């Protein structure tokens, strides 16, 4: 098949959540199909880095945008029903490229990852189309609204309301819908969408993220991995340092916290002034930090979909202590494969149960790795994707009154 694949962040290099899922889909699909990738970049450096996608697809097209222009576009949407997300991910060049491709080439399937870029092909008729929402973004914005002060809370509520309306409209303009987890799929169903739908999970590269038996871990080190320009990660660390870390230090004064992730805000950098806390900023490879830690934490209060940081740590055989909502995005059982808790005392007790008990750490290390191998390996996830595509294509019945691929 010839597949037109459209996604909201250019899927190379696959170093963050918004790129890892589409990259692995493209890599897999390109083994059996001709895949044409269309996405945007936001700088000359991103455009240069994006060239690395070439070995993994048939061809690719880039619409480079200027964040200053995109910001103005978003502001202009405030009094309108159009979502700011659509404006943020809009490129006139990419739109023209996609229209030209559809006019000049024959495609057997259009696959879109993320509702904010469905605008490029929602109008297309005569080709089976799949929309992979991934996370249901409307729910994320509406959650943000509950944690932000006025007037930001209103802004997030307004965006969440507009995106929810967009998600509903798009459901009827595609032939199959998918999400990243079972819970996200239920959120989609709750919108009232009657288009056929399913979900398939994120995977993890179990060879790249693997245990390193030769490295001894520090029994006093706890690590958090995640981009530190991302609000849920920032909030999680602010709360952890204020509420959980003092409880830990009261019972184990030698405990240390490492916050590892790109682009910390000034407030995150300031956390490094707390005794025992280190903020690293961007690092070339997070794996050494994870393997040398006794455990990783994911104490997030806002968490949609799957937290790749949890999957990667479990794949490396490093125990995880997460909030219930963060743990819910992983196909694992709290208490068996990872530990979960929401209150500061619950998180403190869970962490100490690992720090104080090497046997418990070893148990969770083995169980976490085995669970990821069984339930979050990319080959297994891609089998579910293949089944979704087969269902969509086989059941597709084009409207005979429509001209194929016409705008």
Same domain, 239 and 302: yes
Same domain, 131 and 258: no
Same domain, 28 and 157: yes
What CATH number is attached to the domain comprising 93? 3.40.50.2000
Task: Give domain status of residue 52, yes or no.
Answer: yes
> What is the number of structural domains in the chain?
2
Same domain, 56 and 123: yes
Sheet hosting strand 176-179, strand order edge to edge: 59-64, 34-41, 2-7, 109-113, 129-134, 176-179, 197-199
Task: Give domain status of residue 360, yes or no.
Answer: yes
Query: Whole domain around residue 230: which residue ranges?
Result: 218-375
Q: What pairing do the DSSP bridges indicate for beta strands 129-134 and 109-113?
A: parallel
Task: Give domain status of residue 73, yes or no.
Answer: yes
Same domain, 230 and 163: no
Task: Give domain status of residue 407, yes or no.
Answer: no
Task: Give domain status of residue 60, yes or no.
Answer: yes
Task: State phi, psi for 134 to the nearest 5 degrees.
Answer: 70, -110
Same domain, 255 and 315: yes
Same domain, 254 and 130: no
DSSP sequence for 69-106: HHHHHHHHTTTSSS-HHHHHT--HHHHHHHHHHHHHS-
Task: Give domain status of residue 208, yes or no.
Answer: no
Kindly give the confidence (pLDDT) of every residue in the chain, 407 residues in length, as a single tens digit, with 9 standing for 90 and above. Answer: 999 999 999 999 998 778 999 999 999 999 999 999 999 999 999 999 999 999 999 999 999 999 999 999 999 999 999 999 999 999 999 999 999 999 999 999 999 999 999 999 999 999 999 999 999 999 999 998 998 899 999 999 999 999 999 999 999 999 999 999 988 999 999 999 899 999 999 999 999 999 998 899 999 999 999 999 999 999 999 999 999 999 999 999 999 999 999 999 999 999 999 999 999 999 999 999 999 999 999 999 988 777 889 999 999 999 999 999 999 889 899 999 999 999 999 999 999 999 999 999 999 999 999 999 998 999 999 999 999 999 999 999 876 334 444 44
């Amino acid at each position: 098949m010839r597949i037109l694949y459209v996604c909201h962040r250019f899927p190379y290099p696959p170093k963050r959540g918004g790129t890892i899922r589409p990259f692995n889909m493209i890599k897999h699909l390109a083994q059996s199909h001709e895949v044409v990738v269309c996405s945007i970049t936001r700088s000359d450096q991103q455009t240069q880095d994006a060239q690395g996608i070439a070995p993994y697809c048939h061809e690719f097209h880039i619409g480079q945008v200027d964040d200053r222009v995109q910001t103005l576009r978003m502001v202009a949407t405030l009094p309108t029903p159009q979502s700011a997300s659509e404006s943020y991910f809009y490129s006139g060049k990419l739109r023209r490229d996609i229209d030209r491709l559809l006019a000049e080439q024959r495609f057997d399937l259009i696959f879109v990852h993320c509702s904010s870029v469905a605008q490029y092909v929602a109008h297309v008729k005569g080709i089976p189309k799949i929309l992979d929402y991934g996370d249901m973004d409307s729910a994320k914005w509406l959650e943000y609204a509950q944690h932000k002060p006025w007037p930001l809370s209103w802004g997030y509520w307004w965006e969440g309301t507009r995106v929810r309306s967009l998600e509903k409209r798009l459901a009827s303009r595609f032939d199959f819908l998918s999400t990243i987890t079972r819970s996200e799929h239920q959120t989609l169903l709750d919108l009232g969408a009657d288009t056929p739908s399913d979900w398939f999970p994120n995977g993890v590269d179990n060879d790249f993220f693997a245990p390193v038996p030769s490295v001894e871990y520090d029994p006093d080190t706890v690590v958090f991995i995640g981009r530190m320009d991302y609000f849920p990660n920032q909030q999680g660390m602010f709360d952890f340092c204020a509420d959980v870390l003092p409880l830990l230090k009261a019972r184990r004064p030698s405990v240390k916290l490492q916050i590892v992730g790109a682009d910390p805000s000034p407030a995150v950098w300031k956390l490094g002034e707390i005794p025992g806390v280190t903020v690293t900023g961007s690092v070339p490879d997070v794996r050494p930090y994870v393997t040398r830690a006794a455990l990783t934490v994911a104490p997030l209060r806002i968490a949609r979909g799957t937290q790749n940081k949890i999957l990667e740590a479990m794949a490396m055989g490093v125990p995880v202590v997460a909030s219930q909502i963060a743990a819910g995005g992983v196909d694992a059982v709290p208490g068996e494969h990872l530990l979960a808790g929401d209150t500061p005392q619950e998180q403190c007790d869970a962490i100490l149960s690992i720090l104080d008990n090497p046997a418990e750490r070893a148990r969770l290390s083995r169980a976490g790795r085995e669970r990821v191998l069984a339930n979050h390996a990319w080959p297994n996830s891609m089998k579910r994707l293949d089944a979704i595509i087969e269902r969509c294509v086989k059941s597709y019945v084009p409207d005979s009154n429509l001209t194929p691929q016409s705008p």
